[in-house]
Structure 1
Amino acid sequence: MSRSVALIRGVGGPTALKMAALREVLASAGLGGVETLQVAGNVVLDNAGRSPADIASVVREAVRGAFGFDLPVIVRTHAELAGSRARNPYADAPEGRWVQTVFLDARPAARLELPDGVPEEAVLDGREVFVRYPEGIGGSKLQAGWFEKRLGVTGTARNANTVAKLIAMSA
């Protein structure tokens, strides 16, 4: 059976979810083979022939119904996730936690233009933005929200280490 990855944006702090409860809720919503990675809204599941849009809708509604949080969900198939890593020009950087992929819910119409003088490097490729943070992520202005505003789409970011683990889990 084919596997997909649901990336729930905004999990943590006031919208923290217990992963065991999330797995149970998603299984009750008819999703099979549900596994989670970390406590950041990374869900690997059997797609049972469902489209990424259908899976995103089921996950979003299940989270809203069970936990009361309306959190955006972006879904990629295993092949799409592996393809994004293959296209990421920074994927093999020595510090994988300082390389992120911002997964977008749609292909943006806007072009990506970084502000002058920032140390970050970023490339928009389809429905992903690949970002390298040579000075670390914490102090950067170029977080996922920055890209969302500039590109006019919804996105959620995962670092290269997490993407590699999700690819392995969804294989």
Structure 2
Amino acid sequence: MTVLIGLIRAIGPATHAKMSMQDLREGCQAAGLARVATYIQTGNLIIETRKSPATVQAIVERVLRRFDLANLVVLRRPDDLAAIVAANPFPEAAEARPSELCVCFLAATPRPESVTALAQHQGPERLAFCGDDLCVDYPTGATGSKLLPGVIERRLGTLGTARNWNTVQKLLAMAQTF
């Protein structure tokens, strides 16, 4: 059996679509995923399955469509999250302000020129790629930042979904003991 972490974009926060995580879990299980757990109300799944990642992605997307949602689903393996946590490019932020340190899980690898352009960003935010995903430290808080996930997506030319450091660590812990 393989464990996958499903990250659904734009579920739960006040400005985004809402859905019951119980309905999502039950829908995924009814669609053939062996074991499914959720974490908080923002579209985080832990999935145990024998199916391929592409099949799992299609199943989760199909379940979302049943709820009239077409949200992006990004899948990662526990090893992917473990590598990000081990790399921890901003350890002082992770310790002092974990809710202001975010990981943007990208749907596709951005073009090198887009990465170079984003790296030239002028502002208080610090950026570091960990594999295909982007860690963003918001030292003055994400609220009011000019470099929110939507801006990052436009600059990199790919969609993604962001989770704060606390959530990343919790998802990793859940996945490792699933």
TM-score after normalising by structure 1:
0.92
The CA distance in 2 between the partners of 1:56 and 1:149, in whole Å, is 23
Mapped pair 1:97 → 2:103: no
Find 1:169's aligned residue among 136, 154, 174.
174
- Give 1:37 deviation, angstroms: 0.4
Query: What does residue 80 of structure 1 align with?
Result: 80
> Are the counterparts in 2 of residues 106 and 153 from structure 1 also a CA contact under 8 Å?
yes
The CA distance in 2 between the partners of 1:30 and 1:49, in whole Å, is 9
Normalized per residue, the structure richer in helix is 2
- Give 1:88 deviation, angstroms: 2.9
- Give 1:87 deviation, angstroms: 2.2
Please state whether the residue corresponding to 1:93 is helix, strand or coil. helix
Length, aligned pairs only: 168
- Give 1:71 deviation, angstroms: 0.3
Find 1:153's aligned residue among 141, 154, 158.
158
Question: What amino acid sits opposite 2:23 in the alignment?
Answer: A
Indicate the RMSD between aligned Cα atoms, in angstroms.
1.5
Question: What amino acid sits opposite 1:4 in the alignment?
Answer: L
Is there any run of 5+ residues in structure 2 with no aligned partner, and where? none
Matched-pair identity in %:
36
The CA distance in 2 between the partners of 1:147 and 1:54, in whole Å, is 28
Find 1:36's aligned residue among 27, 35, 38.
38
> Are the counterparts in 2 of residues 107 and 126 from structure 1 also a CA contact under 8 Å?
no
Question: What amino acid sits opposite 1:123 in the alignment?
Answer: A
TM-score after normalising by structure 2:
0.88
> Are the counterparts in 2 of residues 93 and 99 from structure 1 also a CA contact under 8 Å?
no
Find 1:143's aligned residue among 148, 155, 158.
148
Summarize deviations over 1:127-154 as a string: whole Å, max 9, x none: 1010101111112121111111001111
Is there any run of 5+ residues in structure 1 with no aligned partner, and where? none
The CA distance in 2 between the partners of 1:88 and 1:144, in whole Å, is 19
The CA distance in 1 between the partners of 2:149 and 2:120, in whole Å, is 13
